[in-house]
Copies of this chain bind each other. A is one copy, B any other.
C-alpha cells in the first residue's frame, strides 16, 4: 500500500469506534480504552495486545512495555500491522470495517503477537518468545513459531487450528483460512517447512508439509495435502494435491475457493 493509504487507516478506525461507541454504550469504555483514547495506532495496538496476552504470570503492563519496545525498535512492525488490517477489509466479505480485525479477529491478534515474539526471538530472548507463542496457541488456537519469517498484508481468516512451523517463510499478501498447516517433516533442525510465495491463497484445512515451495499467486484448494513444489499461478487440489488449473489473478485477493472441474 501507499504510505498515504496506510496513514488513512488509523483515522478511519477512530471514526468507526466512535460510531460503534454511540450505538452500544455497554461497550463504550471498551472502544474508548482500546481506540478512542489513543493518539496513534501504536498506542492502540499495544493496549489491545497487552490485554489479550496478559496472564497471571505476565501482567498486562509488562506485556505492553515489551510490545512498545519492539515497535519502537523496528518500524516495519507497525506497517505490517496496518497492512494486515487492510488485507481483511479488502478480502473478507464479512468484514467491512477496519475496526473489526483490530478488535475482534483472533487470526489478526495471533499474527501481531507473532510479530512481537519474532522480534524477541531475533533479540535472543527465547524464553519470552516461547512464552508468547504458547500463550497465543492456548488462547487463539494458532501456533506460529517465533522463528518463522512472515511478510505483510497477511490474512488468516477464522484462524482456529493454523500451525506455522519454525523454518517457514511466507511472502507478502498471502491469505490462508483456518486449520491450515505449514508443517515440518522429520526431526532435524535444518529448513524443514514450506516457503509460500506472494499472493498465494491456501484453503481451509490444507496441509503443506516439508521444505516445499508454493510459487507466487498459486492457489491451494481447501482440504489439500501438498508435499511437492507448486508452480506459480497454478491451482492445486486433492490428497495428495495435483495441479488442476491456472490462476490469473492473485487468489489471495479474490478469495475464490472454486477450482476447475
Contacts and interface: CB of A to CB of B under 8 A. Distances in A.
A128 B26 contact: yes
Copies in the complex: 6
Contacts of A100: 130
A246 interface: no
Given A36-B25, A61-B50, A160-B143, A106 B93 contact: no
A224 interface: yes
Interface stretch (A4-12, A78-86, A187-195): A187-195
Interface of A: 20-21, 23-30, 32-33, 36-37, 47, 50-51, 56-62, 64-65, 90-94, 100, 103-106, 125-128, 130-131, 133-134, 137-141, 143, 145, 158-161, 163, 165-166, 177-179, 181, 183-189, 192, 203-205, 207, 209-210, 221-225, 227, 237-240, 254-259
Instruction: Give the 10 A-B CB pairs with smallest separation, nearest first.
Output: A29-B29, A104-B134, A28-B28, A185-B257, A223-B225, A30-B57, A20-B127, A93-B187, A25-B32, A24-B127
